[in-house]
Structure 1
């Protein structure tokens, strides 16, 4: 059984698409199709049902996928054992991240990981926390980093970093902190989209303070954290965001950061992975070292 064909097969499974798998591993779609057809012919089984634009695994395909992951992991371990040092380990780690981890945590983590494993390549997908969790569940990425928790027995959460929400205003705004939530209601407000972890924590904090989101003078919703920052910097509105993100911009004197009275709830940013997905050796090393990579302390999966 050809290990490269098995590798191509796993990519089609994870992307549910021949074309997306081809893009991911830099092959033509026809080459990917040829590898799958060769596998089907050799094993004398059908691996996929074509349903619309998606390629759905057959029961036999599902069983082969589990074996393929195990065989590819054994291959990585064998190569590692044959090498003189672990720094020669090569491969790709696919990460989905929400906006704050994607912008302020992952660059540091990648830098530190590559100091030890210089041949690793990272593929970063940035989206909302909800979509991050979905990508981890469907296997299209190896791990996710996000700021909210979604109940699912397949997801394992490792807390990386704790933070809270703060108010940000332009340097021209007259607000002097710390502020009360009632003070905020009088100003134009810029809001993150509903699927972000920051928005989820904000709505919980508002509810705890008996404030309905409708009481805010919302002038814009945005999916982009950078776009939100520009709204505030240009004094179009104020916003409540991650302390980690706000601190970076405040330190550069691009905006002002204020504590909010009554907003005492803290949250974690988590690394998550799917317990049913067989991880590559590189992904395992990244997961096991994640807390140290981000600069945190000890952790326990929760």
Structure 2
């Protein structure tokens, strides 16, 4: 059943005339008649009795008229809602973030954004960088913020913030500087999960120095960065992690930070989005303003 045919039908009912209905909606009378005939054929019922110059509704026509008005009103409401949604700056933004951005970058970005758009709220899922990229790819979030690139034709990356990784140890441990990567083989090591951006960068550094990961004395793999910090502070093991995440604890004299000799790799935190996903107006604005939100 075609909504346009229903619209034409309601006009004939209201004018009680095919010709007047045609004049009202700028169609020829023959076109109006064709729409009504097609509607009658589709429904298998007669809608009008032609009595003299007037077209009188049949009982089935009266019932259809009530439904037609409801359907056309619902259509108008749907179109209005969609139109308002294009311009109304309120609603939810869904994002996935890896651990360091989730703890140290996103809170500032959300605060800055809500100063201009106070009726926006956020659903934020924190996981590993790899999982963030997967969520962006499958469209379950609007965009992600992560510390490692995972190449895919559908993904676009916007660099937000540059940082470096550092070696962290407890205050009980005294390392001779400069610290060489081979020196680490003598100490218990706490490792981020294999799907984290930090882990991917560190493993590339090990490979560059011809060190297999199983040469490290790994005592634990940890998903959460905060838990990893506590393992380091308690001298369970040493680790390599984001300087941004370690800085607060270092400034409070809760752990030590060291630079690894030859490990000058810097990394970016990126905003990543799926080019095939239709973004809401709010998400588009956030993506466009993201670089300024981290300043």
Do the aligned partners of 2:87 and 2:281 also contact (CA within 8 Å) in 1?
no
Of 77, 83, 86, which residue of structure 2 is paired with 1:77?
86
Q: Determine helix, strand or coil for the equivalent of 1:211.
A: coil
Matched pairs, number = 217
1:164 maps onto 2:164 in alignment: yes
Give the distance between the partners of 1:215 and 1:200, measured in 2 at CA.
17
Residue 128 of structure 1 aligns with which residue? Answer: 128
Do the aligned partners of 1:94 and 1:124 also contact (CA within 8 Å) in 2?
yes
Could you say what the CA RMSD is over the residues aligned between the two structures, in angstroms?
1.6
Give the distance between the partners of 1:97 and 1:232, measured in 2 at CA.
24
Do the aligned partners of 1:144 and 1:272 also contact (CA within 8 Å) in 2?
yes
Do the aligned partners of 2:147 and 2:268 also contact (CA within 8 Å) in 1?
yes
Give the distance between the partners of 1:73 and 1:206, measured in 2 at CA.
53
Give the distance between the partners of 1:177 and 1:73, measured in 2 at CA.
62
Matches within 5 A, 1:1-302: 74-79=83-88, 89-295=89-295
Deviations 1:14-48 (A, max 9, x none): xxxxxxxxxxxxxxxxxxxxxxxxxxxxxxxxxxx
Deviations 1:70-93 (A, max 9, x none): 9977432343xxxxxxxxx21111
Give the distance between the partners of 1:209 and 1:73, measured in 2 at CA.
56
* Structure 2: 5+ residue stretches without partners: 1-78
Q: Determine helix, strand or coil for the equivalent of 1:101.
A: helix
**Compared CA separation, residues 164 and 73, structure 1 to 2 (3 A):** farther
The Cα shift of 1:224 comes to 1.0
Deviations 1:182-220 (A, max 9, x none): 111111100011000000000001111222111111001
Give the distance between the partners of 1:176 and 1:107, measured in 2 at CA.
37
The Cα shift of 1:289 comes to 0.7
Q: Determine helix, strand or coil for the equivalent of 2:105.
A: helix
Give the distance between the partners of 1:142 and 1:289, measured in 2 at CA.
15
Structure number with bigger Rg: 2
Give the distance between the partners of 1:75 and 1:255, measured in 2 at CA.
52
Give the distance between the partners of 1:148 and 1:71, measured in 2 at CA.
41
The Cα shift of 1:252 comes to 2.1
Q: Determine helix, strand or coil for the equivalent of 1:236.
A: coil
The Cα shift of 1:176 comes to 4.5
Do the aligned partners of 1:73 and 1:281 also contact (CA within 8 Å) in 2?
no
Q: What is the TM-score normalised by the length of structure 2?
A: 0.71
Give the distance between the partners of 1:277 and 1:72, measured in 2 at CA.
20
Q: Determine helix, strand or coil for the equivalent of 1:221.
A: strand
Do the aligned partners of 1:176 and 1:258 also contact (CA within 8 Å) in 2?
no
Give the distance between the partners of 1:139 and 1:129, measured in 2 at CA.
16
Q: What is the TM-score normalised by the length of structure 1?
A: 0.69
Do the aligned partners of 2:168 and 2:246 also contact (CA within 8 Å) in 1?
yes
* Structure 1: 5+ residue stretches without partners: 1-69, 80-88, 296-302
The Cα shift of 1:248 comes to 2.2
